[in-house]
Structures are given as C-alpha cells and as structure tokens.
Amino acid sequence: MKRFCIPPEHSGAFVQAMEDVLEVYHLPYDPRRPVVCFDETSKQLVDHVRAPIAPRRGIPARVDDEYRRCGTANIFLATKPLAGLVLLEATERRAAVDCAAFLRYLSDDVYPSAAKIILVSDNLNIHSAGCFYETYPAAEARRLTTRFEMHHTPKHGSWLNIAEGQLSVLARQCLDRRIDSIDELERLLAAWGRNRKGAPVRWQFTTANARIKLQRLYPIISNETKH
C-alpha cells in the first residue's frame, strides 16, 4: 500500500486555491515582492545506547538497533524558489508563537526592504496572521500582518507547496540518521542549507496545464448554470 495526498474531485474550493498558488509561482521576479514558500516538519531526537562501529575496508559501519529517545524537535523551512535560498530553524516545539517568531525573522532580518512578502504555505492553523496576534501586542501584530500577502495551498494539495518538496529532500539527505540534540540538528541544518544555496526551483506546471491534466478536479458546470 502506498500513501498519497488525494485531492477531492469537482471541488470549487480546491481548484480556486490551486489556481491561486499556480499564478503566484508564475509571477515575474520582483525583489521588492519576494515569493517565499514556508512549511515545517518534526524530527524525533534519538541517541545511541551502544557506540556505533566505524567502517573498515570492505565492511560498512554498524549501528545497534537499540536507541534512547531524546525528545522531539520542530524544523521550520522557508525557501525563495527563484533565488534558490533556503532558510532553516530548529525549535523545541511547533506553536503559534514559534511560527510568529520565524515569520518576524523573515520580515525584519531577511527581507527588511521588501514592500510585501508573498508567502505560500499550507492550511495549518498557525500558518495565518492570527499567530502574530497570539504572540505580540496588537500594534506589532498589525505591522507584521501588513508585511505579508498570504496564499494557502488547498486541503489535500500540499504538493503545491515548494517548501514541502524541499523538506522531502532534507529528510532524505540530512535527517535520515540518529540526531540526539537540537544543537546537533541545527549544525546539520546549517550545513545542508549552505549546500542548497543557489539552486533555484523552476516551477513548470501552469494553470493552463491544470485545466487539462486535472480536469476531474473542476466542478461540472451544467448548461443552465453557464447562462
């Protein structure tokens, strides 16, 4: 059995959100209005109970199956597809205040001169301007809200978020090992992010493609409704 993110068929809400995100991805490059994709994932922290045996010629490294749990960490990832920029941060939890702090970092430290940051994310409840109001005084929350133009992928349409694709690569290349602390996780994330720098993502799928290849997702309009 394989797991898939299966979109609903004939859903106006789904295709509206899908087309909205697709149009964002084909906006012309504008340094004053950077397009940034945002997502997060969790990583279970575990340590070895017995020291691994280093590899030797003709013999791979060996790791004992037994391990010790060291908690769970959250990883925020933001990527600017056209520039190949990837930003990562490890936190002890995934809460509205953590999301607000990371977005504030994007606003004030990464893109302080941007007129507006066009943010693509999924529908998780903390991925909205509401997180600012749960974290900062109203005036600061409003200031941060006006710094972002938020676009959300449809439910069951997370494949539309380029950040999710980056997290999938991160999981295979960096996280597929035992990591015992947030400090070690941050070190690995920093190294992986440096290696990814300058590798732009060229999104090819368009709204026109969607209306042909994903026609089954669009509502069926009767002749009476057309008039």
- pLDDT (tens digit per residue) in 53-85: 777 787 777 776 666 788 899 999 999 998 888
pTM: 0.85
Q: Is the pLDDT of residue 6 over 80?
A: no
Structure tokens at 176: 């597929």
For residue 101, the model assigns a pLDDT of 96
Percent of the chain surpassing pLDDT 90: 59
Residue 123's alpha-carbon distances to 84, 132, 154, in angstroms, are: 24, 16, 7
Question: Is residue 209 over pLDDT 60?
Answer: yes
The CA distance from 227 to 222, in Å, is 9
36's CB contacts (< 8 A; 6+ apart) are: 78, 79, 80, 106, 111, 117, 118, 119, 120
| Neighbour count for residue 217 (Cβ, 10 Å) | 19
Q: For 172, phi and psi rounded to 5 degrees?
A: -75, -40
Q: Tens digit of pLDDT for each residue in 147-179?
A: 999 999 998 898 999 999 999 999 999 888 888
Q: How many CB atoms lie within 10 A of CB 154?
A: 22
Question: Taking a C-beta distance cutoff of 8 angstroms, is the pair 81, 201 a contact?
Answer: yes
pLDDT higher than 50, residue 137: yes
Q: Is the pLDDT of residue 3 over 90?
A: no
The confidence score (pLDDT) of residue 1 equals 46
